[in-house]
Structures are given as structure tokens and as C-alpha cells.
Structure 1
Amino acid sequence: MAERRMIWLGLALLLLCGGFLAWHLRAPYGFILELRAAKLGALICVGAATGTATILFQTVAMNRLLTPEIVGFDSLFVLLQTLLVMLLGGVGLAQVPGALRFALETCLLMGAAALLFGGLLRSVSGDVTRLILTGVILGLLLRGMAEMLQRLLEPSDFAVVQQAMFATFGRVDEAQLAVSAVILCLALLASLRMAPALDVAGLGRDTARGLGLRHDRVVLVALMLAAALISVSTALVGPITFLGLLAASLARQLTDTHRHAILLPSAAIIGALILVAGQFVFERLLQRQSALSVVVELFGGLLFLFLVLRKGPR
């Protein structure tokens, strides 16, 4: 049953992608299709990466309320953008080659995640709770530093930083998109190969170790995969905090399974569905240019409050 639902989700995504590309298509067909394909690719990559990363993170954290952004990815990205604008200025930053800027942002985000995950897990012997608490404090610290530095910027430079604080799919570089797609595919394949180990890791550290699983190693690899996925998607379009929570929660509800071989691809498909459907409604049906990320954050925040306030096991 779960496999059949996953297949239906995949078919729905394919149909929606076809509608996104072909809706009211006019000449010049090649040019318009190229623009739409680049935007569609970005929507799929970001949605799939965020959904997969959230399932990985929730499994090792043993908590369905958490998302990878809780460890400060969004705050680190905003601080990085602020520092780049302070050093280069708004005009100077615009002159930096897109590929170089993308590589720099991705490497810095992944490097920070490697230091946090690797160093902290070794020092606390796999204490994921302390890792999460440290990430929350780190996120608050980075956000406070970014806000302090933003007060020193000129209004025109601050506008550049403010624009980077919200995810946008209208300025996606095709070379960056290609690199992101390759990293996404490799991370998804690695996650699927880990699916049986993740099923056992979800039972808890003591139980997993009793069954012979090298739990700390599995947790570290899963967290690094999540870090890579979130780093790439954030560097590509900007931060979307609650998209992963929406995708992961819907994947668990619709598939009604604990098997990661089903959960991981289902969350990836649903994450892509949310973004493609939202962009299709805003751009094609309503003829609006509203920021999709704002709407996703609204519904994701409401879902987060519902999950926190409802009774019963999480």
C-alpha cells in the first residue's frame, strides 16, 4: 500500500511538471521552455533536498518536530550574506561570478555543519539532544551577529541582504542548478542505501546498538548527508525553514509507514510537489509574483504549532 501511494505521488508530480511547462506556452517556445525548465529544476531540487534532509534529521534526533534548520543553517546563511556585502558592497557582490559565490556559500555551510556535527558528536558520544540544543543556541548567536552587522550597512546594501533572506526561484543559474542536481542525486542514493540502518537507528541508540548497529557512525553519516542537502538548497535559492517539516509530516501521514526506503523518496516527492504546485498557482493561475517561501513558512509554522500543541506521542 505504501509503495502504491508513493507511485501515485510520483505520477502526480510528473503531471504537475508537465502542466508547469506547457501551461499557456507561446512563441518563442524554445526560450520560454528553457526559462521554465530552469525554474522547475530548482523547485524540484530544493523541495526534494529539504524533504529528504528533514526525514534523515528527524530519524537520528528521534523527534518529528525538528528540522535541519534548527541547528542554525538559516542564520549562518544570513550572516554569510551580510559579511559578503560588508566586505564587497552590494555592487561588488553582484560582480562576483555566480559559480564562485555558490561554491563559497556551499563550502562554508557544509564546513560549519561538519565542525558542529563531527566535533560535537565525538565529544558527547552521540548525544543528539545536546547537539540540537547547541544548534539552537548557535542559531540565535549567528542571527544576533547578523542583525548587529546589518545595522552598520548602508540602506542600499541592506536591501541586498534583505533580498537574500527570502528564498526566490527567479534567478537560478543553470550551472549551479546542474551541480545541485548531481549532489542531490548522490545524496539520495546514499540515503536509500542507508535505509535499513536508519530503520534500526530509529528504534533508539541502546536498542540499535543491542541489535549490532554502529549507531554513532550511522547518525554521523545521516547528519552529514542532511547537511549537504540543506547547504546546497540554501545556497541555490535561499532559506525556507518549514518546508521540510511540511514534506516530512505529509510523507508520514500519506504513506503510513516507518520504512525509510519509502519515507525518503516520498518526502522528496512531496517537497517538490509543494513547491511546484505553489509556484504554478501563483505564477500561472493567479498571475502573481508573490514570494512562495512566505506562504510555505506560514503554513509550515501553523503545522509546527499544531504538532507542538496536540496531545499524544510525537
Structure 2
Amino acid sequence: MTATVVADPVTATPPVPPRRWVLRVGPVALPVRPRLLVASGVSLALVLVLLVVGLGVGDFPLGPLDVLRILFGGGTRVENVVVFDVGLPRALLAVLVGAGLGLAGALTQTVARNPLATPDILGITAGASAAAVTAIALGSGAGAWLADIGIPLAALLGGVVGAVLMYALAWRGGIEPFRLVLVGVALTWVFQAVVSYGLTRAQINDVARAQRWLVGSVSAATWSSVATLAVVLALGVVVVAGIGRGLSLLALGDDLSRGLGVRAGRVGIVALAVAVIVSAVTVAAAGPVAFVALLAPQIALRLARTPQPPPVLSGLLGAVLVSGADLLCRSVLPGGLAVGVVTAAVGGPFLVYLMIAVSRKASA
């Protein structure tokens, strides 16, 4: 059985359709976009490079070759402790957090058909933040029951509650993208009020702890948080692969998608559910790392030149952003700086640019 590559007769909907082929292996046909494939390969290689380089940064500096030697079982006892017990959980968590936020951002932007529709804007991460801050700051009072279940579970619960409220308030016989964003922004401000109240009522030590969590940091990584996020992210990728064709047709609109045999409403619900669970677990592990869910899908969209953000490439670019930001925090910037500070510094100007671009496109 041999694999052949033939031209795909189906063209995409944008004015300049991305180049695309179909890889046929017997009865199986898989669409292949060379540009997307190359961008994904380069992004994956960059993630691995950042991972290896990051493991060598710290109080016990190591070169990339030394890191590879230790990873393949050639390290001393001290080197093994430095790499496997201290460095590797943090480095892997940075990769997984970025990948989760990038994947979730691509899904929400695709479903809402809006580049500004991310878990940060739609109230999902704000709900997780509100629950986590309540558990930290009011753990001895009103938030005692949240403190009892732990901050990660509290953040997960808050993210799910935020998503359910968003969906219930935005649903009017279907998902209306503009209404979805407006409801998400309103919920975000409501949850921010809860966060502010918790910070004003807490003890100073709890405020400092909550504030660092709110910025977003991977410095408190553990193997349990890495394992949990890895399993959730892997399951999310599997589900996204299963609805890949439906996701690619959402950009055509509900009516045309339905005519092509895709139930846009069902695909949207599944995609949103994956985005909510992945982003909530990600926020529970590292806090709301700002703007990664916005930046990664939009960069992926421009690199791949696809009609909508490709989820896997968005996840890989998210991993590059968070890993790179964490490497900067540990090697160049002042010590103790959280990774969320770097992503916010980069994401703020990009958000302004994106809003201007969307405004110009709408008025054209």
C-alpha cells in the first residue's frame, strides 16, 4: 500500500484559499496544508529547544548538551535532582499551560467567529479567578468550602460556572457571536468585582498569595499538576480531532454548514465544552496567564493562512509563548517575576493592534 498526494478539488472560502492537498493511503484520505504542516513542525522544534535551554537555566546552570545527557540517563545524583525534580516540572507546566490556552483560544474564536473571543474575554478565566481568590482570601469565612476542596478544584469549578452562565445568557435559539462576546465581557467585570472584594477583605499575607496567583505563574509547578493538565489536554486534542471537519466549516455560517451535513450548534457546544474544561484546568494549574489565548491563535492564523485559527498550531505557539516568557523571567528579567507579566506586556499592544484591524475591516 503506497501513499500518494493529489490535489484537493475542494477550494476554501476565503478570497485567497490556502494551498491544500489530500494524502491518500488506500481508502483513507487526509487533507494536508503544507504551510500549516511546516509552521507546526517549526513550532514544535522551537518548543523542544526552549524546553532544553530552560532546563539549564537556574542556580545550577547547565549547557544544552549536559541537559540532554541528564535526560537520557547520564546525570549524577545532584544533576538528576536539579533537572527532574526542580526544572522539568516547571518547564513542562509552561509548555502545557501555553498549549492549553492556545488551544482553548482557537476554539472560542472559531465558535464565536470573533478574534477577540477568548477565555479571558468570555468570563471563563475570570470565573476561575474569582473562585480561587475566594478560596485564598476568604478561606476562613465565606469561602471556607472552596478552601476545603483546594484552589485547583475551586478554580475549575469557577471556570465551569462562568462558562455555564455565559452560555445560558447568550443562548437565543443558537450561539450569536456578538451577543456571546458582550455577555462574556459583562460576566468578566462581575467576577472582577468578586476578586476585588476578596482582596480588600483578606489578610495581607493572603492578598500577596492571591495577587501572585492572579498574575499567572508556573514557579509552583508539581508533577501532579503536570500530569492532570497533560491528560486533560490530550483528551481535548482527541475530541478536537474528532470534530475537525465541523470546526473547519463553522466559518461558512450555520445555514451553509447545515447544508453540508454539519450540525453547527452541536459542533459549537462540543468545542466550547473542550475550551472551558481545558482553560479552567490550565488556570487552576498556573493562574490566568494573560493574553496567550488571544495571541497564539491569531499568530497561528497569520502563519498558516487558514480561514480560522488552527487549534493544534495555536497550542504549539501558545507553548512557545509561555515557555519563552518563563525563560526570560529566569534568565534576563529581575528574579521572581511571574510569567504572566511578560505575556501581558506583549499581549496588551497586540490587543490594541487587533482591535484597530477588526475596526478597519468592519468599516471597509
| TM-score, length basis structure 2 | 0.77
Q: Which stretches in structure 1 are left out of the alignment for 5+ residues? A: none
**Residue-by-residue CA offset, 1:158-198 (whole Å, 9 max, x unaligned):** 22322221111111222122111100111012112211110
Q: Kindly indicate whether the alpha-carbon contact (under 8 Å) linking 2:124 and 2:160 is maintained by their aligned counterparts in 1.
A: no
Q: Deviation at 1:299?
A: 1.3
User: Which of 344, 352, 362 is equivalent to 1:297?
Assistant: 344
1:266 and 2:313 matched: yes
Aligned residues between the structures: 307
1:258 aligned counterpart, secondary structure: coil
Q: Which gives a bigger RCO, structure 1 or 2 (Cα 8 Å, sep 6+)?
A: 1
User: Which of 293, 300, 303 is equivalent to 1:254?
Assistant: 303
1:193 and 2:227 matched: no
Name the CA distance, whole Å, in 1 between partners of 2:248 and 2:96.
Answer: 25
Q: Deviation at 1:111?
A: 4.0
Name the CA distance, whole Å, in 1 between partners of 2:176 and 2:291.
Answer: 24
Runs of 4+ more than 4 Å apart = 120-123
Partner amino acid, structure 2, of 1:80: A
Q: Deviation at 1:285?
A: 4.8
User: Which of 194, 214, 217 is equivalent to 1:165?
Assistant: 214
CA distance 1:164–1:14, change in 2 (3 Å): closer
Q: Which residue of 1 aligns with 2:47?
A: 13
User: Which of 232, 235, 259 is equivalent to 2:281?
Assistant: 232
Q: Deviation at 1:148?
A: 2.8
Q: Which residue of 1 aligns with 2:154?
A: 104
Q: Deviation at 1:251?
A: 0.7
Q: Deviation at 1:53?
A: 0.7
Q: Which residue of 2 aligns with 1:212?
A: 261
Q: Deviation at 1:215?
A: 0.9
- Could you say which structure has the higher helix fraction? 1
Q: Which residue of 1 aligns with 2:99?
A: 48
Name the CA distance, whole Å, in 1 between partners of 2:344 and 2:95.
Answer: 18
CA distance 1:198–1:175, change in 2 (3 Å): same
Partner amino acid, structure 1, of 2:129: V
Partner amino acid, structure 2, of 1:17: L
Q: Deviation at 1:122?
A: 5.2
Q: Which residue of 1 aligns with 2:335?
A: 288
User: Which of 66, 74, 90 is equivalent to 2:125?
Assistant: 74
Partner amino acid, structure 1, of 2:94: L
The farther-off stretch of 250-259 and 223-232 is: 250-259
Q: Which residue of 1 aligns with 2:115?
A: 64
Q: Deviation at 1:67?
A: 1.3
Q: Which stretches in structure 2 are left out of the alignment for 5+ residues? A: 1-33, 67-75
Quick check: which has more Rg, 1 or 2?
2
Name the CA distance, whole Å, in 1 between partners of 2:240 and 2:170.
Answer: 20
1:168 aligned counterpart, secondary structure: coil
CA RMSD of the aligned region, Å?
2.5
**Residue-by-residue CA offset, 1:122-180 (whole Å, 9 max, x unaligned):** 54422233222112111111212332343223333322322221111111222122111
Q: Deviation at 1:229?
A: 1.1
2:121 aligned counterpart, secondary structure: helix
CA distance 1:286–1:132, change in 2 (3 Å): closer
| TM-score, length basis structure 1 | 0.88
How much identity, in percent, do the aligned residues show?
24
Write the mapping of 1:27-46 to structure 2, written as runs, cut at 5 A.
Answer: 28-34=78-84, 35-46=86-97
Partner amino acid, structure 2, of 1:71: L
Name the CA distance, whole Å, in 2 between partners of 1:233 and 1:251.
Answer: 20
Partner amino acid, structure 2, of 1:211: L
Q: Kindly indicate whether the alpha-carbon contact (under 8 Å) linking 2:103 and 2:275 is maintained by their aligned counterparts in 1.
A: yes
